[in-house]
Structure 1
């Protein structure tokens, strides 16, 4: 049995990880800076640690992490969301010997940066769209007459926040502190992929399409995609980067089947929901034993489907809502599905208080923006 601290407990992916490791016989402690997180009430959660904001005072955050590690005698820390970058920075500062299930900070920060990632992937021989770094109004002016050929997005962003896809006009104002990128638009089908690596070796991967989304970005329903070319892409990236821990990508599959890498999310994503065999998944993460996902069929956050789904695909929604497997539901663990309404209310209050969108509020205290 290992004593595992899973951070980013607000995320459905974190809850899923907790259930898998708990089901494999491990002692799971959850941590986050929010109060009403879904994982807190799960049977898989042996204890909950309330942390300060990850992107606040680093010394205060680091001390809270050290205390949690000591109080709960933690053997391994598994990050889930963008707090992984803050944790890696704390680990880089030194003084913590408990392993972090993530690469070192330099590798993480390059992968998270939407410009540097494309350079990184291209150096590995992977296809990427031509990506231009924009740090001033003058940089934007050079592309203004051709704005409709590009996708514009902040270098540090998530959930497609502020993304402009082939706009008539690029109404953005990048700076050196808040740069943007302009990527050539690539036509095709968007595919996401989640993977686990052990010191440069791929242990598992799952790819999926998102037929329903919350707004422009975050998927709320997931269909598995077993294209072997995706596995080959991920395997090459992991091997060349020496990646350790969890990593995710957004790809475009062109009409000819070729894959183009748009960006990297150096953290967990919804692909983890295609794993429901605790012992096998835990062995992949902890013992370097390769495994393949076993779940088929539509996976979804059912509560979010009721909010967003009927308006996106009214003709197929009723069929899909009956057929889907709710990722919040787990045998003998009903409380998190009920808790998600209280968790959503906490996020909504944050959004109203700070005059931001609910999507932005979900990462307000953990986002890494360089």
Structure 2
């Protein structure tokens, strides 16, 4: 694709990564449009965005969702559509329709679902000659009990489709009966029972275009919202992760954004836990760098963050980051990291985020779910049940 000024359509306007991408494309002179199925969009007041759209939820009406995107693409002469959140699976499903009008920066649904589904992902990892935790598929409570015994009485339990570690259980013989009572496992909603690996946690983010790695970042996990999503990000060099990514994607012709969660043992062995084939917070580590070029030109060299780049979600750090951590470490991280949302050139999103998060809090209360789960309830992909 030409790197001349483009009309870019981002989906997932609720997400900080979408705001960051919008600002980065805007800074290089591209016209940015954003669409999402919620009215409370973090990007809606950003001066980097030409226009925001509220579209149909793909969970509620897949065909309506695709038609809304087609209308925007046609009316605003969009050149490139970039999904950022879990709506990527629905866009992957409708990719052939959408690509009749513009370029779509994601892979087909088949590969996206294979990567997202936690059992098939581990099978794919092994097929590449890479190590993966021993992982068993369970569709009944008795299969879960049998699998945990097979793994030595201790394991990690999670649905094959899940996100933010919101439904992850660390199971042993002492709490097994209690956990079994909490979950709803079935043929339609299977779980994986996975070997528990002890070590340091890392996350990676890679932009791939036609099988070429165009941008890559990774960061250790220090502070999180709940069990899963990181809220502080620091780039550190890790040749092992870079080599793993290179091996995993070798020989493919994939396009899209791909993120992995890793555990590194004390012996330096890397185990991938899961893949998120979408934008993740690794985007934030490219602040001040020409990340949009990775989406537009596969012939460029691999873009990496500057060494010791440190950023954070300041609101999350203030409300959740301090819980269960060493106070001095929290203070040091807080004082040495820049906020992702704040920009002196684009201030409105910083203040607008309070309304956005409050809106999701109200949605969570209404549906009796956590605020983190509320952020994806209308876009999450749990298999093709349409």
The answer to whether residue 156 in structure 2 is matched with residue 159 in structure 1 is: no
Task: Map 1:1-370; keep pairs closer than 5 Å.
Answer: 1-92=5-96, 96-145=100-149, 148-167=153-172, 168=174, 169=176, 170-171=179-180, 172-278=183-289, 280-288=290-298, 289-290=300-301, 291-294=303-306, 296-313=308-325, 314-370=327-383
Classify 1:144/1:294 alpha carbon distance in 2 versus 1 (closer, same or farther; 3 Å).
closer
> Structure 2: which 5+ residue stretches go unaligned?
none
3-state DSSP of counterpart to 2:104? coil
Unaligned runs of 5+ residues in structure 1 are none
Worse-matched range after superposition: 141-150 or 238-247: 141-150
Compute the displacement of 1:94 (Å): 6.8
Displacement after TM superposition at 1:318 (Å)? 2.3
Q: Aligned partners of 1:312, 1:37: CA distance in 2, in Å? A: 30
- Alpha-carbon spacing, 1:46–1:126, altered in 2? closer, same or farther (3 Å): same
TM-score (ref. length: structure 1): 0.96
Superimposed CA distance per residue, residues 279-306 of structure 1 (whole angstroms, 9 cap, x where no aligned partner)? x312122012122212624311001111
**1: CA distance between counterparts of 2:80 and 2:287?**
21
Is the CA contact 1:202–1:239 (under 8 Å) kept in the aligned structure 2? Answer: no
What secondary structure sits across from 1:312 in the alignment? Answer: coil
Cα pair 1:251 1:262 within 8 Å, conserved: yes
TM-score, length basis structure 2: 0.92
Number of corresponding residues: 369
What's the CA shift string for 1:324-345, capped at 9, x where partnerless?
1101123401111111100001
Moved more, 83-92 or 312-321: 312-321
Distance 1:115 1:45 in 2: 38
Which aligned runs of 4 or more in structure 1 are off by greater than 6 angstroms?
none
Q: Please say if residues 301 and 327 of structure 1, whose CA atoms lie closer than 8 Å, have aligned partners that are also in contact.
A: yes
Q: Deviation per CA, 1:248-279, whole angstroms, max 9, x where unpaired?
A: 0001111111211110000011111110235x
Distance 1:295 1:6, change over 3 A: farther
- Alignment partners' CA distance in 2, 1:148 and 1:15: 44
- Seen in structure 2, the aligned counterparts of structure 1 residues 55 and 47 have a Cα distance that, compared at 3 Å, is same
Q: 1:160 to 1:85 in 2, by over 3 A?
A: same
Could you tell me how far apart the structure 2 residues matched to 1:95 and 1:220 are? Answer: 34
C-alpha distance in 1 between matches for 2:297 and 2:162: 33
Shift of 1:312: 2.9
